[in-house]
Amino acid sequence: MRGQGRPRLTRRTRVALVAGALFVIGTAALAQMSAEIVPPLTGAEQPMEDLPAVPTPKWTVDDIRQMRAYPDQPPVIPHSIEGYQLSVNTNRCLSCHKREFTQGSGAPMISVTHYATREGQMLADVSPRRYFCTACHVPQAAAPPLVGNTFTDMSKLGVGHAGDQ
């Protein structure tokens, strides 16, 4: 009889084989396209070459308070804090800037907002959420900006104060 001796592929098997072949071809094509679109992650030609480190900029230590660029900006630290201990148990900043020590040190007092909880309740001591000063305040350094800045203050744009007319 006709067809005896050799096994025949069913329609389901043929469809599965065609789908598998298309899957393999499609995956290979996508891999080739993604290799052209996505840049390699190796970076420079010699990924392990030694490059000189950029020197750390010197801190501005003239103790002149800097003008803030925008309202509510945390003021920058106008003096060196090299060697200051700032831990859970010790905060050297508070030895001069805490309310009760400012008269003897001549340092500006920390803002009253540092004595308030999130809910606005005033505390007798600095709030734990405002205890780590360098989370917001940074020393000023003579360094070039990392990102360009085109900020212009309103007063330089010719906008006058209310009632000046």
Q: For 16-54, write each residue's pLDDT tens digit.
A: 989 999 888 888 777 776 666 666 665 555 666 777 887
Rounded-to-integer distance, Cα 47 and Cα 144, Å: 27
Indicate the pTM of the whole model: 0.56
Tokens of 116: 């308030």
Whether 105 shows a pLDDT value over 80: the answer reads yes
User: What is the per-residue pLDDT for 92?
Assistant: 92
Q: Tell me the average pLDDT across 94-118.
A: 90
What are the boundaries of each domain within the chain? 11-39, 59-63+75-142
Rounded-to-integer distance, Cα 50 and Cα 58, Å: 24
Q: In the CATH hierarchy, which fold is given to the domain comprising 59-63+75-142?
A: Flavocytochrome C3; Chain A, domain 2 (1.10.1130)
pLDDT, averaged across the chain: 81
